Amino acid sequence: MFNDARTRSIVIQCVLVAAVVGAAALLVTTTFTNLQTRGIPIGFDFLSMPSRIVISEAILSYKSRDPYYWAIVVGLANTVFVSALVIVFSSVLGLVVGVTRLSSNPLAAGTCRVWVEIARNSPPIVLLIFLYSLWWKVLPPVADALRPLPGVFASMRGLMVPSVHISLATAGVVLIIVAGMLFLAPRLAGSLRNFRPALNWATVAVLLLGLWFADATVSMDWPVFAGSNFQGGLELTPELSTILIGLTIYTTGFIAEIVRGGVLSVGSGQWDAGRSVGLSRSKILRLIVIPQMLRVIVPPLNSQYINVVKNSTLAIAVGYPDFFAVMNTIISKSSHSIEGVFIILGVYLALNLTLSSAANWYNRRIAIVER
């Protein structure tokens, strides 16, 4: 029986799986026994208890009497918010810096190269601490806040930027969501591709109907200095501003190199073909080069986006209450370290797998199908 390679491989794999399961069972049993011996409680029942912890900044509404599970949700919302903004900003800046590095202008290309080299060769935590120290040593008090752009103020208390308020009726929001589902249905389910024209028309009709019922009102709230502080607008604290700016600068350096490699991967014949039909350099880049380089850069971009989520844990160094910082506080207060570690691992695994699945789906969409 063992002379058969297939049978031998199956037996070896079964033995390895049994060994791994046995080791895991021994570890879990030993851990539970030691915890019970020391009188340390284990379980997830504590999640429904009042947290009694303070979260200084929260995207969602939070009070200290809320349960632990809601504190975890609030911390997770902060992490998703920061990660999404960093991904968007660094992607846009990375495209600009990566393309500019190939410019014939030595000043522009050299400046972008310095950015890339500093970002790629600096530890991100050092960059964050350096930027955080600048808020107190470089920026002026609130009364003398700098105004780099109209409606934007920078001071020791952070950044004040205009905010947009949009109000929608519930019926309109539901119809807009339905329109989005109709738009995505034939793209996610291959069996519905034959109904794509009809679904597209239905999407347009439902979207217009949703906008009609939404009765949307849009208002702009500008920050105004009154008394001793600003009123109105959106306040970005030094902690939030530091993590956004620092991670954006750091990630942009890597994305810029990925973009530069993607541009160089497109053959020079594509540029010559664009010039032969009278296209400008910007149009050649936008219409010919970038669509082709996406097939090359999406996999490494996916890795950088996952790194953004993992690097967001460095927010604890500057005092921003992201998911990791909130979980550290919960573990210290509740003494449920094992459960807390499992929650941390599970949440970050779910976030990164979601990002990876979305990038892989898009990569399959733009891949060249060979016949």
Q: What is the pLDDT along the chain (371 residues), one digit of tens a residue?
A: 667 778 888 888 999 999 999 999 998 888 778 877 777 777 788 888 888 888 888 888 888 888 999 999 999 999 999 999 999 999 999 999 998 998 888 999 999 999 999 999 999 999 999 988 888 788 888 888 888 888 888 888 888 888 777 666 666 666 677 777 766 666 666 656 666 676 676 777 776 676 666 666 667 778 888 777 788 788 888 899 899 999 999 999 999 999 999 888 888 888 888 888 888 888 888 888 888 888 888 889 999 999 999 999 999 888 899 999 999 999 888 888 888 888 999 999 999 999 888 888 888 877 766 55
Q: 7 Cβ partners below 8 Å, 6+ apart?
A: 1
Cα four-point dihedral sign 345, 348, 351, 357? negative
Classify strands 163-167 and 229-231 as parallel, antiparallel or unpaired: unpaired
Cα–Cα distance, 96 to 260 (Å, whole number): 10
CB 158 within 8 A of CB 139: no
Lookup: tokens for 290: 């970038």
Q: Is 106 helix (H, G, I), strand (E, B) or coil?
A: helix
- Compute the CA torsion angle 49, 52, 58, 60 (nearest 10 deg): 30
Per-residue model confidence (pLDDT) at position 11: 86
Lookup: tokens for 247: 């991670």
Entry pTM = 0.80
Lookup: tokens for 127: 């960059």
DSSP state of 354: H
CB 286 within 8 A of CB 299: no
Per-residue model confidence (pLDDT) at position 323: 92
Q: What angle do CA 322, 85, 292 make, to 5 degrees?
A: 135
Phi and psi of 212, rounded to 5°? -65, -45
